[in-house]
Amino acid sequence: MSQQLPSRWDELTTTDWKAALDKSSKTCILPIGILEKHGPHSPLGTDLIHVRDIAARVVKNEYAVTFPDYFYGQINEARQQPGTFALPSDLILKLIEATCDEIARNGFTKIVILNGHGGNPEFMRFFMQSQLYKRKSYAVFFYTPQGDPAFGEKLASMRKSAAQGDLHAGETETSVLLYLHPELMKMDRAASESGENQKRATLPPDVYTPIWWYSGYPNHYAGEGAKATKELGQLIVDHEVESFSKALKAIKADTKTLEIQDEYYKKVDGLNR
C-alpha cells in the first residue's frame, strides 16, 4: 500500500493524507522555478521543469510530498523578454510566506525549498531570515548543493564550452533539459542569438548594480546552448538526484532545527515579559 502512495500533493487523496505525513516525516518539498526566456531554444519554464523532475526522481529514493508547480520568484531582470512572469517584490514575499504557512497548516513541519532559478537565492535567504521575526510551527530548509571535486572533474572533461560564460541557457542547462525533455527543445535555434557577455558596463566587479545582468547579457542568454549533449545532461541529473536524496534523508531525520528554532522564539518572547 505504501508503494502506491503518490508523492505529489495534487495527486494525493484526503484519505491518503495521514499516510503521506507519516511516510514523509511531515516533510514537503517546494520546487521553485520561474517563467523566463532561456535562450531562443529552451522552454520558458526550464527552471521549474528541471527541479520538478529532480524532485520526482528523488522521492522514489526518499519519500516526501512534493508541492505542485510554483513559479513566483524574482525575475525583474528579464521583464523586457516575452513570456517573463514577474510579480512585485512585496507580493512574492507574501506569497512564499503564505504558501509555507498553508503547507504547515496541513500538517507539515519541514519545508524543503528546491530552487531552479539563479535569480532566487538572495530572495529566498531574505525570506528565510524573515521567518525569525514571528513564531512559526515549521522550519524551512534551503537546499544549496556544495562542491564535489570528483563530479567537477568529470563535468569539466565532458564540456565543450568554457565554464566561465556558461551562466544561463548555456551548455549545462540546455544539456539537462535535452536529457529530461528533448521534445521541448528547439536545438536548431540555439545558435541564432549570441550568448556572449557584451561587457557594456565600465564599473569594477566589486561594485553591484541591479542592471548588471542586462548590461552584459541583453539577450537574456549566457553561454553556448548549441554545444549541449544528452550525455552531459544525464551526468548532471544523476549527480543532482544522488546529492538531493542524501540531503532530504538528513532533513527528514533532523530533530534539532525545530527544537533550536523554538528555543529561539521562547527567548524572544521572554524579553517582553
CATH 3.40.50.10310 fits 2-255, yes or no: yes
The torsion angles phi and psi of 115, rounded to 5 degrees, stand at -95, 135
Cα–Cα dist 143/58, whole Å: 13
Q: What predicted TM-score, i.e. pTM, was given to this entire model?
A: 0.95
Cα–Cα dist 224/164, whole Å: 11
204-218 pLDDT, tens digit per residue, is 989 999 999 999 999
What percent of the chain shows pLDDT beyond 90? 95
What are the residue ranges spanned by the domains of the chain?
2-255
8-55 pLDDT, tens digit per residue, is 999 999 999 999 999 999 999 999 999 999 999 999 999 999 999 999
- Give residue 168's identity as a one-letter amino acid code: H
Cα–Cα dist 226/41, whole Å: 9
61-76 pLDDT, tens digit per residue, is 999 999 999 999 999 9
* Alpha carbon distance, N-terminus to C-terminus of the chain: 51
- Give residue 189's identity as a one-letter amino acid code: R
> If pLDDT is split at 50, 70 and 90, which confidence band does 1 have?
very low
All three cell numbers of 80: 523586457
All three cell numbers of 187: 536545438
